[in-house]
A and B are shown apart, each in its own frame.
Chain A
Amino acid sequence: MLGLCIAVLTVVVLGAVCFAVPPAEGLGELVRIAFLHIPAAWVSVIAFFMSAWWAASYLRKGEIRDDARSFSSARLGFIFTLLAAVSGAVFSKLTWGAYWNWDPRQTTILVLLLIYGAYLTLRSAMEEHARRARVSAVYSLFSFLTVPFLVFIVPRLYFSLHPTPVLNGSGSVDMEPVMLLTLFAAVADATLIYVWLLLKSSRKEEKI
């Protein structure tokens, strides 16, 4: 049932992105990339938080289900982070003339990619199940300590060309209603895809 809802929502979002969303001022047709990029970036951050949450839960209770969820969330987070990084780089090349500019948000997504990559590498290097779960949970939480740096320090270190967020500094929404609605639908769709894949993947992991 969830799969069917996601399929319908995905078709609606794709239709809206291709046919309903008007070209944006200054960005033209390139604005359509944002409807893939923003939801992917959103899910990559959510997946990181959830992976750390379930890692903490595993260390507290020792239930294998929490380890399976933490791992599945990290694996999906890695894929969504890759999507966000690639779509961001393409957008960057087409608008700013270079794939990589060390923009604060690009830096954040790169650090996230490194953390996910390191976590998955560590897991693959551990053969014994219980130790693998424990060690991965510890690394997941230890790498979570970088969050204050990514949120507070990185934006002060690098100059940003990144477009302002949907909700800008003055608290107002600077976007056409149809774009905003499509963006919310795309974010909801990506989040549901993440939840659906997470449930499927973690059930499979629990059985292994």
Chain B
Amino acid sequence: MRPSTFQSIKLVLRKEITTGLRFRAAWAAMLMFSFTSLVCISFALAGTAAEPKLLAALLWVLLFFSSLAGSDRVFSDEEADGTLMALRVYAPSQAVLFGKLLYEFFVLTVITVFLLPLFIVLLGAETKEMLLLLCTVGAGLWGISAAGTLLSALIVGAGVRSGLFSVLMLPVILPVFIPAIRLTEAAFGGTVVSLNFLGGILLYDMILSVGASILFDYIWYAE
């Protein structure tokens, strides 16, 4: 009996977590990359009190580049290991997409849980609206995961991969980025901002997820 799509998504997610946890070096590299970037910023500011607007922008730049450290490998690792064909045969395309998307969201959440407290401590960011900050980060990470998973599938087979992922990612993720910076600024005690921006991010997240779902089949069944 074939499993339902929901069960298949769970199976793909479990497989991703199992293989992901096996490569501890990749996790260490991702976490150290985000930590090193944060320390760089902290050194550069050297204790200078930064405005909420600057802090918000720095946080999202950090999250963006930290996400790049892992997202581009979502499908290329499968290609390198020669497991892409097996996945294509045994799992429905939508299960692969959403299983990997959820895993990507999980990875980014782990990075953020590691990074955010350090960011608040090292840069002296006073959080006035913690719930708003968490909701904004959650919504932002979902958008990055949705876009990142599809774009990672696109760059499989690309001759040049270094830098390509970030070039493709930035224009697509800007609609998440810009309102998220405004909301984060408000959470750090900056200007008051309409919650419609959060609704806007969530709406765009949904558009990205549906768009990725529709377009993924064209990539997955191409060969």
Contacts and interface: CB of A to CB of B under 8 A. Distances in A.
A121 interface: yes
B215 A141 contact: yes
A132 B65 CA distance: 26
Interface stretch (B6-14, B19-27, B168-176): B168-176
Interface in B113-130: none
Interface in A114-173: 114-115, 117-118, 121-122, 125-128, 130-131, 134-135, 137-139, 141-143, 145-146, 148-149, 153-154, 157
Per DSSP, are chain B's interface residues mostly helix, strand or loop, or mixed? helix
B215 A121 contact: no
Contacts of B87: none
A125 B164 contact: yes
Contacts of B219: 134-135, 138
A111 interface: yes
Given A125-B164, A146-B171, A157 B182 contact: yes
A59 interface: yes
Interface string B193-219: 000000010001001100110010011
Contacts of B211: 141-142, 145
Given A125-B164, A130-B222, A131-B222, A149 B174 contact: yes
Interface in B161-190: 161, 164, 167-168, 170-172, 174-175, 178-179, 182
A139 B168 contact: yes
B101 interface: no
Contacts of B222: 130-131, 134
B164 A142 contact: no
A197 B204 CA distance: 35
B160 interface: yes
B97 interface: no
B164 A145 contact: no
B179 A118 contact: no
A121 B151 CA distance: 13
Interface string A10-21: 000000000000
Contacts of A138: 150, 154, 215, 218-219
Interface of B: 147, 150-151, 154-155, 157-161, 164, 167-168, 170-172, 174-175, 178-179, 182, 200, 204, 207-208, 211-212, 215, 218-219, 222-223
10 closest A-B pairs by beta carbon, nearest first, are A149-B175, A114-B171, A125-B158, A115-B171, A125-B160, A138-B215, A118-B168, A118-B167, A145-B211, A135-B154
Given A114-B170, A146-B174, 11 more contacts: A117-B167, A122-B168, A128-B157, A134-B219, A135-B154, A135-B157, A138-B150, A142-B212, A145-B211, A146-B172, A153-B200
28 contacts: A59-B218, A111-B174, A114-B174, A118-B171, A121-B167, A121-B168, A122-B154, A122-B158, A122-B167, A125-B155, A125-B160, A126-B157, A127-B159, A131-B223, A134-B219, A135-B154, A137-B218, A138-B218, A139-B154, A139-B168, A141-B211, A141-B215, A142-B150, A146-B174, A149-B174, A153-B175, A153-B178, A157-B179
